[in-house]
Amino acid sequence: MRVVLLGSGNVATHLAKALQKAGHEIVDVWSRRVEHASRLANAVGGVPITDIRKVTTGADLYIIAVKDDTIAELASQLHLQNELIVHTSGSIHINVLETASTVYGVFYPLQTFSKNREVNFKDVTLCVEGCTPEVTAKLLSLASQLSGKVVELNSEKRMAIHVAAVFACNFTNFMYALSQKLLADQNLDFELIRPLILETAAKVQELMPVEAQTGPALRKDAITIKEHRDFLKNQPNLLRLYEELTKEIVNFYKPL
Ligand SMILES: NC(=O)c1ccc[n+]([C@@H]2O[C@H](COP(=O)([O-])OP(=O)(O)OC[C@H]3O[C@@H](n4cnc5c(N)ncnc54)[C@H](OP(=O)(O)O)[C@@H]3O)[C@@H](O)[C@H]2O)c1
């Protein structure tokens, strides 16, 4: 396939590399900032472009991988005919693309991507949705070339998955960041806690998370919880989070 990438960030970079590896050709990389378009085009081929009117017409696939809030605006500037166009967002409805082409869909990779970290794309769950069963079949076929984990999901289910992913990944990682700061404030090395983080993630490969919970809130260790609250008394944001999460855990595990 001849592919036009609209976006040059984390997802565009990983998707472009996976498509290239599967034998597809990147013909254009459009991005708002020329240096970003050029960086990705240098890595995967294609012409770096910042003027949307100069994007190649008649390619086989157009992939919008930009910030969610700008997908609609970008789509409204594209006037394709019967060329296939997809976006890669977890939460934006498929219909956002209905004015851009008669053939549209969603190609959402359910993984966390950072540009400079390698990901084995074969293990990335790809969630696809097409505007017709034929388009869905085409996207399923393309997705199967890139990954061994492919699923068809409508926009409502994809939204649910994305919210779940925000809890499981984005919020969890933010907890790691808070814990990094707590340790740094005491001149303690983040390395100390890395094995705990690894085991927490490893455990839920075998147990369900509801069974894997540990800690003072689960045990209702009131003295420890009070000590922790005292420790955090000068950090109101952390204290608020600690109290809120502790309350949620206690309520979640309350006997019926
Ligand atoms: N990161 C993930 O783990 C992940 C996973 C699954 C799906 N997604 C989805 O993939 C899409 C891209 O996410 P990402 O993480 O790759 O984003 P990203 O790395 O932050 O890159 C954002 C892209 O959006 C462009 N952009 C930002 N503001 C813009 C604006 N006002 N107008 C036009 N373009 C703008 C940037 O262009 P310039 O750099 O040229 O400014 C860049 O190409 C999103 O829909 C996201 O929900 C992300």
- Domain termination residue (choose one: 153, 168, 192): 153
**What is the spatial distance between Cα 114 and Cα 178, in angstroms, rounded to a whole number?**
20
Rounded Cα gap, residues 129 and 214, in angstroms:
38
**Ligand 1 neighbour 90 (Cβ under 6 A):** yes
pLDDT of residue 115: 85
Residues 6+ apart with CB under 8 A from 158: 90, 91, 106, 108, 127, 129
pLDDT in tens, 44-71: 999 999 999 999 999 999 999 999 999 9
pTM of the model: 0.95
pLDDT band at 255 (very low <50, low <70, confident <90, very high): confident
5 burial (CB, 10 Å; 0-12 / 13-18 / 19+) is buried
Does 52 share its domain with 80?
A: yes
Q: Determine if ligand 1 sits within 6 Å of the CB of residue 113.
A: yes
What value does the mean pLDDT take over residues 175-201? 98
Q: Which among 13, 30, 32, 117 is the best mutation to test ligand 1's pocket, defined by most ligand atoms within 8 Å of the CB?
A: 32
Q: Are residues 192 and 210 in the same domain?
A: yes
Instruction: Decide whether any atom of ligand 1 lies within 6 Å of the 8 Cβ.
Output: yes
User: From the CA of 137, how far away is ligand 1's center (Å)?
Assistant: 26
pLDDT at 116: 85
163, 221: one domain: yes
Summarize pLDDT for 224-250 with one digit per residue, the tens.
Answer: 999 999 999 999 999 999 999 999 999
Q: Which domain holds residue 133?
A: 2-153
131 and 185 share a domain?
Answer: no
For residues 105, 111, 114, 119, the Cα torsion angle rounded to the nearest 10 degrees is: -110
The residue from 98, 125, 153 where one domain ends is 153
- Tell me: do 145 and 201 sit in the same domain: no
148 and 163, same domain (yes or no): no
- 207 and 146, same structural domain? no
Q: Which of 111, 136, 153 is the C-terminal boundary of a domain? A: 153
Q: At what angle do helices 10-21 and 34-44 cross, to 10 degrees?
A: 20
Instruction: Name the average pLDDT for the chain.
Output: 97
* Count of domains for the chain: 2
What per-residue confidence (pLDDT) applies to 256?
74
- Model confidence over 142-176: pLDDT tens digits? 999 999 999 999 999 999 999 999 999 999 999 99
Q: In sequence order, which residues have a C-beta less than 8 Å from that of residue 182 and are 6 or more positions away?
A: 238
